[in-house]
Amino acid sequence: MTKNAPPVRIALVLHGGAGTIDRNSMTPEREREYRAGIENALRAGHAILQTGGSSVDAVEATVRVLEDDPHFNAGRGSVFTSAGTNEMDAAIMDGKTLRAGAVGALEHVRNPIVLARAVMEKSKHVMMVGTGAEEFAKRNGIELADSKYFFTQRRWDALQKIKAKAKAGADGSEKFIISEAERHGTVGAVARDSEGNLAAATSTGGTDNKLPGRIGDSPVIGAGTYANNATCAVSCTGDGEFFVRAAVAHQVSALMELRGISLPEAAEQALGEAKRLGGAGGLIAVDKDGNVALPFNTSGMYRGYLRDNGKFIIDIYK
Ligand code: ASP
């Protein structure tokens, strides 16, 4: 960079899950709590980017704050499997080196994103799951947590309703309806740092009532998470099985690279592909020039991003 070159534009975008988020079933207090959670997370990532820190550090820090916030379906607030356990998945990718780390089916790791990063940087692997991944966490001094730490009454009640509904047959009865806000909340962040490097991170408890052992798109590199300095960084949320089959995150990058289309167009098209297969959701993305996109085809997506003037924009509904 020459002495007088303009500073590289930093960018940060996060999501806290997409779904049918109904304005009428959300209390003002609850909405404030979600907004505060998003703001705290943006603040953590912004502090790093603003002081010249890396995009990898920024997305990890952002996601970590959301994992610690019980409102979101990741880390502490993870949904339950059909067996009443919590199984978490996460991934991180460095767009500069194309290195990546992913973890799946974790039951006792407080911050799955921290372990994903350790897999990226301290192992020769890309993805580790279950007890092997937890052993690796222990060996690397990563904080573990008892299953009780991941228990939230709201998620537990949601599981009971889903089970009751399945037992009674899907009669659409009011008492079985769980608010979609109870079901969604996968978290993710993408960033561009002051050196122009991109990174993406995603963390989730998966889908409510999933079978133990099920892994969705979030930790699958190219499906729920992808970053490449040549194109963009992407983190997805939605019906994971369809996002895997449409390889959504990598598809955004491939469309930009091979078709030469803009980030918003590529993001819409890739999301459209998952939708055609039957999966709804959204994604957040930043391109190599710092442009951002936050498309979703559900009624809401918890989301926030940093404007060029340093202001945070936070939104939930369409
Ligand atoms: N994509 C996540 C999964 O399938 C869930 C979500 O984003 O709501 O595990």
Tokens of 245: 């089959």
Q: Rounded to an integer, what distance in angstroms lies between the CA atom of residue 299 and that of residue 169?
A: 26
Query: The CATH number of the domain where 138 resides is what?
Result: 3.60.20.30
Considering only CA atoms, which of 88, 45, 86, 91 is closest in space to residue 65? 45
| Residue 57: exposure state from Cβ atoms within 10 A (0-12, 13-18, ≥19) | middle
- Tell me which residue has tokens 């085809």: 297
Q: Name the CA dihedral angle for 313, 271, 127, 140, rounded to a multiple of 10 degrees.
A: 10
Q: Is the CB of 55 under 6 A from ligand 1?
A: no
311 part of a folded domain: no
235 part of a folded domain: yes
Strand order in the sheet with 187-192: 127-129, 99-106, 88-94, 198-204, 187-192, 11-19, 300-306, 312-317
Q: Rounded to an integer, what distance in angstroms lies between the CA atom of residue 80 and that of residue 271?
A: 26
Q: Rounded to an integer, what distance in angstroms lies between the CA atom of residue 65 and that of residue 50?
A: 18
**DSSP state string for 75-107:** GGGPPP-TTS---EEEEEEETTTTEEEEEEEES
| The total number of residues written for the chain in this structure | 318
Per-residue model confidence (pLDDT) at position 24: 83
Q: Which atom of ligand 1 is nearest to the CA of 185?
A: 8
Per-residue model confidence (pLDDT) at position 182: 56
318 part of a folded domain: no
Q: Is the CB of 204 under 6 A from ligand 1?
A: yes
Q: Which atom of ligand 1 is nearest to the CA of 237?
A: 7
145 part of a folded domain: yes
Q: Is the CB of 207 under 6 A from ligand 1?
A: yes
Query: For residue 252, what are the domain limits?
Result: 11-306
Tokens of 13: 């975008």
Q: Is the CB of 282 under 6 A from ligand 1?
A: no
Overall number of domains in the chain: 1
pLDDT class of 209 with cuts at 50, 70, 90:
very high
Q: Rounded to an integer, what distance in angstroms lies between the CA atom of residue 32 and that of residue 69?
A: 13
What share of the chain has pLDDT > 90, as a percent?
A: 85
Q: Which of 40-49, 157-166, 250-259 has the lowest mean pLDDT?
A: 157-166
Q: Is 237 a catalytic residue?
A: no
312 part of a folded domain: no
What share of the chain has pLDDT > 70, as a percent?
A: 93
Range list of H helices, 169-205: 180-183
Under 8 Å between Cβ of 181 and 70: no
Q: Which of 4-13, 26-35, 75-84, 256-265 has the lowest mean pLDDT?
A: 4-13
267, HSE (Cβ side, Cα atoms, 13 Å): 25
315 part of a folded domain: no
**To which H or E segment does residue 226 belong?**
strand 225-227
Render pLDDT for 7-43 as a digit per residue (tens, 0 to 9): 789 999 999 999 888 888 889 999 999 999 999 999 9
316 part of a folded domain: no
Tokens of 290: 């710092």
Task: Please tell me the residue having the least CA distance from ligand 1 atom 4.
Answer: 240
1 part of a folded domain: no
Distance (angstroms) between ligand 1 centre and the Cα of 204 equals: 7
